[in-house]
Amino acid sequence: MESGKLASFFEEDLCLFSLRSRKKNSVLQEMVRHLNKTGRISDEQFIMEMLKNRESLGSTGLGMGVAFPHGRSLAIQKLTVLFGYSSSGIDFGALDGKPVNIFFLILAPSDKGAETYLALLSELIGVIQKPDKLNKLMKVRDFKSLTEILDGKE
């Protein structure tokens, strides 16, 4: 993936900078409900079940305060990314046992774009593995700052 392209996967109306939920399933529900309200998905319950099934295989909370709930389905029309932030942190069953503050919810069609989906996931994991970028992400509160961090301008 080219430098400066990561932010192009994010949309301002799909950034929630103050998640209210405090539990794993409720934060997933909050994010999925937002996707439904913004017209990105049509079957909220189906997407929730898909995400819960994915989480049952192992937490997508990778540690360092970040989780990547994700899934692929024919019910998704195009690659969609939702950024969520919780100031208090949520027990998401992360690999390091620590609360999760940052969520990158990634949904993609199962019939196309697998390379882009995997490249996006890989690129985002690369971002959080850089301590300076992760620290900046933990403080981000607006779309412009988020895209600058993701594109390496911050």
Could you list the active site residues? 70
b/e burial code for range 57-78 (CB count within 10 A of at least 16 → b) = eebbbbebbbbbbbbbbeebee
In Å, what is the CA distance from 141 to each residue of 44, 83, 85, 102, 145? Answer: 26, 11, 8, 11, 7
- Rounded to an integer, what distance in angstroms lies between the CA atom of residue 68 and that of residue 105? 6
